[in-house]
């Protein structure tokens, strides 16, 4: 009796249909204000250290800024941007 050899890639491919990863949940809130470099948002829950996107989806010049959750208080979260804030305005979407 002789065993046939099957490559690891072919064996792994057989399992790919069985593994379904959930999509990342989309949670949205809105930007209330900015004091210095600290952004204050409401309407979303995110843990300290989580990364969020602050999006100004203005059709003329859309802007996305990545930010990290640095604190929270009374239903609001405080974000520290990673990169330039040019184009960000109050009321834009913040999502975790």
Asked whether the beta carbons of 70 and 48 are under 8 A apart, the reply is yes
How many domains, the chain? 1
**Is the entire prediction scored with pTM above 0.75?**
no
Burial of 38 (0-12, 13-18, 19+ CB in 10 A): middle
**pLDDT single digits (tens) 10-44:** 877 777 777 776 666 566 788 898 888 899 999 88
Q: Does residue 35 lie in a domain region?
A: yes
Looking at residue 25, its pLDDT comes to 57
The boundaries of the domain holding residue 28 are 24-95
Domain at 80, CATH number: 2.40.10.170
């Amino acid at each position: 009796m002789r065993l046939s050899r099957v490559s690891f890639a072919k064996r792994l491919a057989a399992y790919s249909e069985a593994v379904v990863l959930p999509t990342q949940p989309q949670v949205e809130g809105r930007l209330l204000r900015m004091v210095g470099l600290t952004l204050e948002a409401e309407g979303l829950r995110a843990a300290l250290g989580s990364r969020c996107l602050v999006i100004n989806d203005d059709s003329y010049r859309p802007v996305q800024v990545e930010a990290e959750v640095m604190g929270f208080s009374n239903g609001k979260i405080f974000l520290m941007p990673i990169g330039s804030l040019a184009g960000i305005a109050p009321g834009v979407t913040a999502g975790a």
